[in-house]
Amino acid sequence: MSLDQITDLIKAKFTRIRTGLTVGFAGTETMDRLRELRGGQWRSVPMTAELPFEEEQFEVVVMSGESVSNAAVKEAHRVMKPDGCLYFSVAERTGSQEGFDLCNRIFYLIG
């Protein structure tokens, strides 16, 4: 999903976001764009084996598709609030087969 598609989904679901997290994006451009969209306190971190946050901290987690792994999805789920949403951003340059393979992998990881 592109960042534009993610912002459209977030606009439809949330009127305000209190806490959000972006994972695996270079720089803060993605986080800044999402903060402008619905406000709130946003954090941005590189993908690591363990995210440096306590459980159930974030309403929204947006991960770079390049960061997707079993451990990354489990960590995102751990830091996400029970009614939170997890989004994956895939670069527009991703070919249709590559994007299809990534989606299959994400669905497999989520279960």
Q: Which element (helix H / strand E) includes 110?
A: helix 96-110
Q: pTM of the predicted model, to two decimals?
A: 0.80
One-letter amino acid for residue 68 of the chain: V
Residue whose tokens read 């991960």: 63
Per-residue model confidence as pLDDT tens digits over 11-66: 898 888 999 999 988 888 888 888 888 889 999 998 877 899 999 999 999 988 77
Of 107, 104, 49, nearest to 78 by C-alpha is 49
79-103 residue pLDDT tens: 999 989 888 887 655 455 555 566 6
